[in-house]
């Protein structure tokens, strides 16, 4: 779409100048986003098993810092708006020690090849697991297929290793009480297809400071050990080496200062922790390149943002929530939030697709038609939790435009929660998630750099930046264009829901309930249209207000017609 937008005069005596249209922003981001940079940063970050405060997490933060400094961001001294391009690293003492894995091996005594090794399966060691003696331990393994707690109490488990086809956390308390030295377990959801991807292990965690260590097995290792145990007495040699030490938590925040309303902002967030390449080294790498390109365009005066653009890297949900809540004055100016989480997937390898997780709309309550939740699972959304806003349709339409241009598949899912978009929503700030699912390698140690697509990260980066650039410098032309877009999307949704309700009533469903669904959708879009009056940098104009009123009337009229027909 083409939107002609004029900046307001910045200072008395200065002449006005033309703002870029959305199409021009697309051109700038498509030409400027360097997917090689994003990929290389992702490759650096994914080398580490990242837990807040540990070596890999901190190295990733400082790697991003170097990218920002090279791009022209200067370290903040007094406040984040003291210069056009600033960054800061926030340091906080950690209440608990950090943790990092070093090495691990499980060997079946008498066999030449290890059952499983950290070199190939770094998720085999749960977070917070302690170490064995340097030379390891050798002990008999006790396989517990369907043993009840009462039966366990009769077994002599002292000095032995417990093995179950369940997550080891279920046996940790029993093992500790019985004097066992360790627990081996298995926990892989069906969507990871463990029988196909037999070397995968999803990362997990255990209680810190436990006297009993635990390890996780892949499907292949579990089956091999199970077979050995069913044949007779089996001994294992286990070696685990980890580090547990005091540290500080780091968060890095970069800002591109807005020229007119610097206190209003768009915030991008990408979490650093988790050990995977797609989850979430790809988010870190994509956002770092987005920040670099923004600095380049700003310094060359190809963009002149009217509001502030913020980039944040830290601990998932924790850092974003703290950023929003620790400074109430700053929080009032956060107008949009966007989480980049698992944004680089090579979908031909992972099996997933690019998704925009919507803010809570009625599809999160009544999920039907082409709407569907992912295997991650639906959230418990009630009508009181609905969050009507134009942000849903605005971002989706930007991504669809990039999808059409680049032959890139763009989908969406109803709200589910669980990433950095949730703190925004919990604080009544519009927030969306860019991600991929279903991913057969989700949270597994097969989520490595070979599953990452540089092209996918480029498409995400282009879409995110184009949307942000448009919104932070929006004027009445942007707003009125958005009114038309949201009205069209609303009418399309109402037609879809009307057809679904007609079929439902024909199948015996309550007409009153089906009418209610339609009414909730209508109200959601009417309320979403009303939020567009805050989009322009300047205060609401008569033109924007009139456009909203006209669009609202069309939604209301169409809703009335549909409701009458449903009678």
pLDDT higher than threshold 80 for residue 1: no
Q: What is the CATH number of the domain that holds 25?
A: 3.40.630.10
pLDDT higher than threshold 70 for residue 225: yes
pLDDT higher than threshold 80 for residue 148: no
Count of domains for the chain = 3
Task: Please list, in sequence order, all residues whose beta carbon lies within 8 angstroms of the beta carbon of residue 278, skipping any fewer than 6 positions away.
Answer: 342, 343, 344, 345, 350, 436, 439, 441, 447, 451, 452
437 and 502 in a single domain? The answer is no
pLDDT, residue 19, reads 56
Asked which of 193, 228, 245 is the last residue of a domain, the reply is 245
pLDDT, residue 174, reads 87
Asked which of 186, 216, 245 is the last residue of a domain, the reply is 245
pLDDT, residue 152, reads 74
448 and 548 in a single domain? The answer is no
What tens digit of pLDDT does each residue of 503-555 get? 999 999 999 999 999 999 999 999 999 999 999 998 767 899 999 999 999 99
What tens digit of pLDDT does each residue of 29-72 get? 999 999 999 999 999 999 999 999 999 999 999 999 999 999 99
pLDDT, residue 147, reads 62
139 and 228 in a single domain? The answer is yes
C-alpha triplet 157, 163, 165: angle, nearest 5°:
140
115 and 237 in a single domain? The answer is yes
Asked which of 472, 502, 529 is the last residue of a domain, the reply is 472
Query: Which of 4-13, 103-112, 410-419 is least confident?
Result: 4-13
Q: What is the CATH number of the domain that holds 211?
A: 3.50.30.30
Cα 127 from chain centroid? Answer: 20
154 and 39 in a single domain? The answer is no
502 and 460 in a single domain? The answer is no
Q: What is the CATH number of the domain that holds 538?
A: 1.20.58
Residues 296/300/305/310 CA torsion (nearest 10 deg): 20
Range of the structural domain that residue 237 is part of? 99-245
pLDDT higher than threshold 90 for residue 105: yes
Mean pLDDT of the 404-419 span = 97
pLDDT, residue 278, reads 98
Separation between Cα atoms, residue 171 and residue 144, nearest integer Å: 10
Mean pLDDT of the 338-349 span = 97
Q: 154: pLDDT confidence band, cut at 50, 70 and 90?
A: confident
Separation between Cα atoms, residue 34 and residue 39, nearest integer Å: 9
126 and 57 in a single domain? The answer is no
pLDDT higher than threshold 80 for residue 7: no
pLDDT higher than threshold 60 for residue 2: no
485 and 441 in a single domain? The answer is no
Question: pTM of the predicted model, to two decimals?
Answer: 0.94
Q: Average pLDDT of the chain?
A: 94
Separation between Cα atoms, residue 56 and residue 46, nearest integer Å: 9
Mean pLDDT of the 421-435 span = 97
86 and 25 in a single domain? The answer is yes
In the chain, pLDDT over 90 holds for what percent of residues? 89
Separation between Cα atoms, residue 340 and residue 271, nearest integer Å: 8
Dihedral sign, CA of 63, 457, 193, 173?
Answer: positive
pLDDT, residue 540, reads 65
293 and 399 in a single domain? The answer is yes
What tens digit of pLDDT does each residue of 316-343 get? 999 999 999 999 999 999 999 999 999 9
Q: 145: pLDDT confidence band, cut at 50, 70 and 90?
A: confident
Tokens of 341: 């989480």
Residues 161/167/172/173 CA torsion (nearest 10 deg): -130
pLDDT higher than threshold 60 for residue 232: yes
259 and 216 in a single domain? The answer is no
543 and 526 in a single domain? The answer is yes
Q: Which of 109, 252, 134, 123 is nearest to 192 (CA)?
A: 123
């Amino acid at each position: 779409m083409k939107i002609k937008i004029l900046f307001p005069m910045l200072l008395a005596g200065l002449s006005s100048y033309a703002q870029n249209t959305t199409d021009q922003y697309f051109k700038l981001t498509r030409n400027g986003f360097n997917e090689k940079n994003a990929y290389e940063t992702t490759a650096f970050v994914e080398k580490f098993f990242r837990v807040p405060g540990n070596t890999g997490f901190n190295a990733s933060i400082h790697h991003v810092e170097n990218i920002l400094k090279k791009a022209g961001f200067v370290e903040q001294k007094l406040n984040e708006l003291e210069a056009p391009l600033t960054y800061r690293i926030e340091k906080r003492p950690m209440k608990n020690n950090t943790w990092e894995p070093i090495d691990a091996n499980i060997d079946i005594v008498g066999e030449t090849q290890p059952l499983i090794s950290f070199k190939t399966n770094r998720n085999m060691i749960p977070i917070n697991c302690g170490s064995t003696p340097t030379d390891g331990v050798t002990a008999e393994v006790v396989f517990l297929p369907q043993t009840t707690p009462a039966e366990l109490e009769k077994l002599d488990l002292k000095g032995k290793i417990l093995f179950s086809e369940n997550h080891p956390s279920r046996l940790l308390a029993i093992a500790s009480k019985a004097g066992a030295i360790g627990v081996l377990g298995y926990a892989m959801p069906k969507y990871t297809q463990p029988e196909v991807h037999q070397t995968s292990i999803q990362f997990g965690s255990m209680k810190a400071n436990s006297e009993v260590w635990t390890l996780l097995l892949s499907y292949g290792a579990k089956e091999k050990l199970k077979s050995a145990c069913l044949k007779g007495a089996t001994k294992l040699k286990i070696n685990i080496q980890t580090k547990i030490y005091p540290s500080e938590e780091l968060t890095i925040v970069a800002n591109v200062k807005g020229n007119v309303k610097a206190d209003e902002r768009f915030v991008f967030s990408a979490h650093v922790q988790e050990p995977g390449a797609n989850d979430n080294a790809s988010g870190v790498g994509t956002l770092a390149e987005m920040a670099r390109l923004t600095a380049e365009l700003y310094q060359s005066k190809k963009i002149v943002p009217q509001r502030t653009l913020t980039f944040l890297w830290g601990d998932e949900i924790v850092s974003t929530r703290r950023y929003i809540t620790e400074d109430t004055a700053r929080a009032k100016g956060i107008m949009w939030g966007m989480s980049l989480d698992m944004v680089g997937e090579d979908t031909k390898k992972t099996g997933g697709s690019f998704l925009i997780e919507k803010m809570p709309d009625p599809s999160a309550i009544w999920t039907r038609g082409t709407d569907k939740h992912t295997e991650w699972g639906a959230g418990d959304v009630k009508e009181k939790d609905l969050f009507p806003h134009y942000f849903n349709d605005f971002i989706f339409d930007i991504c669809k435009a990039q999808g059409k241009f680049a032959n890139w598949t763009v989908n969406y899912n109803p709200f589910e929660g669980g990433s950095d978009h949730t703190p925004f929503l919990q604080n009544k700030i519009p927030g969306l998630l860019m991600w991929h699912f279903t991913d057969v390698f989700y949270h597994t140690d097969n989520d490595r750099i070979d599953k990452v697509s540089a092209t996918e990260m480029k498409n995400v980066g282009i879409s995110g930046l184009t949307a942000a650039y448009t919104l932070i410098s929006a004027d009445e032309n942007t707003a009125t264009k958005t009114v038309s877009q949201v009205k069209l999307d609303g009418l399309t949704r109402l037609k879809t829901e009307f057809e679904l309700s007609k079929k439902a009533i024909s199948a015996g469903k309550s007409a009153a309930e089906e009418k209610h669904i339609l009414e909730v959708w209508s109200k959601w879009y009417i309320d979403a249209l009303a939020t567009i009056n805050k989009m322009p940098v300047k205060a609401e104009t008569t033109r924007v207000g009139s456009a909203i009123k006209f669009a609202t009337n069309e939604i209301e009229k169409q809703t009335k017609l549909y409701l009458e027909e449903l009678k």
